[in-house]
C-alpha cells in the first residue's frame, strides 16, 4: 500500500481524473466569459491548489490577461482536521489594489480559511475579488462563505489527490481519493 504506516490508507476514488478535468474546463470557460478583455491575478493557495490552478489557467483562453501568484497558509499542519487558526506562511508577490483577483483554493470545509482570506484580500482594495474552489464540504462548515466558482460538493470524507494531501502524501494522484485510518 502506498505510504503504508502513515496512519491512513487509500479507500476509494471519489472523483476520477476525467470527471475533474471536465469540470475544470467548465470553470475555465465561466472565468473566460466573465473576464474577457481584462486582466486577472489568479492567486493559488499553496500547496493544495497548485495542480488545480495550473490546469484551470491553462484552459482559460488568450482573451483574458492572466497573472499568476500564490499565497501559502497553514491551518492543518500534519493533521486531518483544521485547527481553525490561519497563519500566512507566504504572501502574494503582486500588488492587488484595484486589480481583479480570483483566489483559487483546493477545498473548503469549515470555511474559516476562506473567510479569513476573503477579509484579508478585501482589506487590500482589489477592483474585484472572487473565489474558485475545487471542493466544498458543507457538512463541516462553521462559517458561511461565498464560493463564486465551485467544482464539486463532497460528503464529509477526508480526501487526497489532485493536490490534496495528508502530511505531504498523495498530492500527485490524478484522482481524488477518500482515505480511511489504517487498521
Chain center to CA of 16: 17
Distance separating alpha carbons of residues 104 and 102, to the nearest angstrom: 6
On the question of a cis peptide bond just before residue 47, with omega within 30 degrees of 0, the verdict is yes
Q: Report angle CA 174, 175, 180 to the nearest 5 degrees.
A: 125
93 is a catalytic site residue = no
Q: Report angle CA 158, 109, 85 to the nearest 5 degrees.
A: 105
- Residue in 55, 109, 165, 175 annotated catalytic: 109
With beta carbons less than 8 A apart as the criterion, state whether 120 and 93 touch: no
Q: 171: phi > 0 → left, psi -120 to 50 → alpha, else beta; which?
A: alpha
Active site residues: 109
Amino acid at each position: 500500500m502506498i505510504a503504508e504506516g502513515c496512519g491512513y490508507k487509500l479507500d476509494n476514488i471519489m472523483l476520477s481524473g476525467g470527471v475533474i478535468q471536465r469540470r475544470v474546463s467548465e470553470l475555465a470557460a465561466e472565468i473566460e466569459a466573465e473576464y474577457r478583455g481584462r486582466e486577472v491575478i489568479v492567486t493559488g493557495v499553496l500547496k493544495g491548489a497548485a495542480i488545480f490552478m495550473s490546469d484551470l489557467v491553462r484552459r482559460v483562453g488568450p482573451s483574458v490577461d492572466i497573472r499568476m501568484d500564490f499565497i501559502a497558509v497553514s491551518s492543518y499542519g500534519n493533521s486531518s482536521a483544521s485547527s481553525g487558526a490561519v497563519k500566512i506562511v507566504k504572501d502574494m508577490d503582486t500588488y492587488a489594489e484595484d486589480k481583479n483577483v480570483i483566489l483559487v483554493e483546493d477545498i473548503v470545509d469549515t470555511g474559516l480559511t476562506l473567510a479569513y482570506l476573503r477579509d484579508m484580500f478585501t482589506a487590500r482594495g482589489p477592483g474585484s475579488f472572487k473565489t474558485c474552489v475545487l471542493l466544498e464540504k458543507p457538512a463541516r462548515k462553521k462559517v458561511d462563505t461565498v464560493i463564486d466558482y465551485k467544482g464539486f460538493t463532497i460528503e464529509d470524507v477526508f480526501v487526497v489527490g489532485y493536490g490534496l494531501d495528508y502530511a505531504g502524501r498523495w498530492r500527485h494522484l490524478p484522482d481524488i481519493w477518500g482515505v480511511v485510518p489504517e487498521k
